[in-house]
Amino acid sequence: MTIEQYRRKYAKKRPKYRNVVTDGFASKKERERYKDLRLLEQAGIIEDLKTQVAFELIPIQHSADGRMLEREVRYVADFTYIKNGELVVEDVKSPATRKNSEYIIKRKLMLERHGIRVQEE
């Protein structure tokens, strides 16, 4: 293997949407939104702020003999919180990621299965 082949094989791939992971958040935009939500929580406008909350959309599928056929499908929200007594599920998306077909299907399943409309920032 040549040096060039080695570099290509083991080079770090650029994130698909060119986001920069920052302080444990998937993007700078997501980190900034978290800071804003923390301020709202401290001011008493929202409560029970949580990050990376998973919702089951489709349960695990088993065969008649109990073997797992398909894994569950989950939606992981960037943030959840309570505002005016209502659960708010929020996702930070760029214009490009809002068009992602997998995200769109999961967003629609959230509404159909849980009655929750995902808010996009």
CB under 8 Å to 19, separation ≥6 — which residues? Answer: 26, 27, 28, 29, 94
81 within some domain: yes
2 within some domain: no
61 within 8 A of 37, measured Cβ to Cβ: no
90 within some domain: yes
5 within some domain: no
62 within some domain: yes
Domain extent, residue 106, equals 15-120
The 10 Å Cβ neighbour count of residue 93 is 20
pLDDT tens series, the chain, 121 aa: 676 766 666 666 555 556 666 667 878 889 999 999 999 999 999 999 999 999 999 999 999 999 999 999 999 999 999 999 999 999 998 888 888 889 999 999 999 999 999 999 8
Question: 18: exposed, middle or buried (C-beta count within 10 Å: 0-12, 13-18, 19+)?
Answer: exposed
The pTM assigned to this predicted structure is 0.76
